[in-house]
Amino acid sequence: MNLIPVNIDSIRIGQPLPFHLVDKDGVLLARKSFVIASRADLLVISQRGGGLFIDGVDGEALHRAYVDQLQVLMRAEKSIGEIAGSKLDAAAAIKRTALENDQLDWLDLQVQAHHLMRDPQSPAFFDRLDNLHQILGNEMARGPDGCLFALIYLAASELKMYSATHSMLVCVMCALASRDVLNWPEATEVLLRKVTLTMNLSISELQDKLASQGGDLDDSQRAQIAAHSNRSAQLLQNIGVTDPVWLEAVRAHHTPLPGPLQPKAPEHRIARLVERADMFAARLSPRLVRPAVSPAVAMQACYFDENKQVDEAGAALIKAIGIYPPGTFVRLATNEIAIVVRRGSNTSTPRVAVVINRTGIPTVEPTVRDTALKEYRVVASVAHREIKVQIKLDRMLALTHSQPTDRPW
Q: What is the pLDDT of residues 113-127, one digit of tens each?
A: 998 898 898 888 888
Give residue 87's pLDDT.
45
Same domain, 29 and 133: no
pLDDT for 292: 64
Of 373 and 108, which is predicted with more confidence?
A: 373
Higher per-residue pLDDT: 170 or 75: 170
Contact 112, 132 (CB under 8 A): yes
Within-domain flag for 191:
yes
- pLDDT per residue over 238-289, tens digit each? 999 999 999 999 999 988 888 899 999 999 999 999 999 998 888 877 665 5
More confident residue, 403 or 42: 42
Dump the DSSP string for 101-115: H----HHHHHHHHHH
pLDDT recorded at residue 293: 67
- Tell me the whole-structure pTM to 2 decimals: 0.74
Residue 235 falls inside a structural domain: yes
Query: What secondary structure letter does DSSP report for 202?
Result: G
- Which residues span the domain enclosing 54? 3-101
Please, what's the b/e burial string for 68-83 (b: 16 or more CB within 10 A of its CB; e: otherwise)? ebeeeeeeeeeeeeee
| Same domain as 53, residue 32 | yes
pLDDT for the residue numbered 38: 82
**Low-confidence winner among 141-150, 321-330, 390-399 (lowest mean pLDDT):** 390-399
Domain termination residue (choose one: 51, 70, 101): 101
Say if residue 388 is in the same domain as residue 313. Answer: no
Supply the CATH number for residue 228's domain: 1.10.3210.10
213 domain-assigned: yes
Q: Is the pLDDT of residue 162 over 80?
A: yes
Q: Is 371 in the same domain as 255?
A: no
Residue 227 and residue 375 in one domain:
no
Q: Are residues 110 and 69 in the same domain?
A: no
- Using the predicted structure, report yes or no on whether residue 96 has a pLDDT greater than 50: no
Residue 86 has pLDDT above 50, yes or no: no
Judgement on whether residues 125 and 196 belong to the same structural domain of the protein:
yes
Last residue of a domain, one of 36, 66, 101: 101
Least confident of 293-297, 335-339, 343-347, 358-362: 293-297
Question: What digits encode the pLDDT tens for the residues 40-49?
Answer: 888 888 877 6
pLDDT of residue 33: 75
pLDDT tens, residue by residue, 205-220: 988 888 777 777 788 9
Say whether pLDDT at 230 is over 90.
yes
In a domain, 405, yes or no: no
Is the C-alpha dihedral spanning 340, 346, 349, 351 positive or negative?
negative
pLDDT at 283: 81
Residue-level pLDDT at 408: 37
Task: Note the pLDDT of residue 302.
Answer: 83
User: Which pLDDT tens digit goes with each residue over 364-378?
Assistant: 888 999 999 999 999
pLDDT band (50, 70, 90) for residue 91: very low
Q: Are residues 311 and 344 in the same domain?
A: no
Which H or E element spans position 83? helix 80-84
409 within some domain: no
Answer with the residue of higher pLDDT: 401 or 319: 319
For a pLDDT cut of 90, what percent of the chain falls above it?
Answer: 39
Which of the given ranges, 15-24, 28-37, 158-167, 298-307, has the highest pLDDT on average?
158-167
Domain presence at residue 42: yes
Report d(CA 323, CA 173) in Å as an integer: 13
pLDDT at 314 (0 to 100): 93
Claim to verify: residue 222 and residue 209 sit in the same structural domain: yes
Q: pLDDT tens for residues 24-74?
A: 777 778 877 788 888 888 888 887 767 887 765 455 455 454 455 455 555
The strand order across the sheet containing 21-22 reads 3-5, 53-55, 21-22, 28-30
Total domain count, the chain: 3
DSSP assigned state of 346: S
CA-to-CA separations, 224 to 139, 204, 251, 287, in angstroms, rounded = 33, 11, 14, 18
Is 408 domain-assigned? Answer: no
Whether 174 is covered by a domain: the verdict is yes
User: What distance in Å separates the CA atoms of residue 255 and residue 258, rounded to the nearest whole number?
Assistant: 9
Say if residue 304 is in the same domain as residue 194. Answer: yes
**Is the domain of 154 the same as that of 235?**
yes
Q: Which residue has the higher pLDDT, 379 or 33?
A: 379
pLDDT band at 95 (very low <50, low <70, confident <90, very high): very low
- Report the pLDDT value the prediction gives residue 56, as an integer from 0 to 100: 55
pLDDT-derived band at 349 (thresholds 50, 70, 90) equals very high
Q: Are residues 281 and 356 located together in one domain of the fold? A: no
Question: Where is pLDDT greater, at 286 or 143?
Answer: 143
Of 101, 121, 145, which residue constitutes the final position of a domain? 101
How far is residue 285 from each of residues 159, 295, 329, measured CA to CA in Å?
8, 10, 14
Check residues 188 and 23 and name the one with the higher pLDDT: 188
Higher pLDDT, 99 or 259: 259
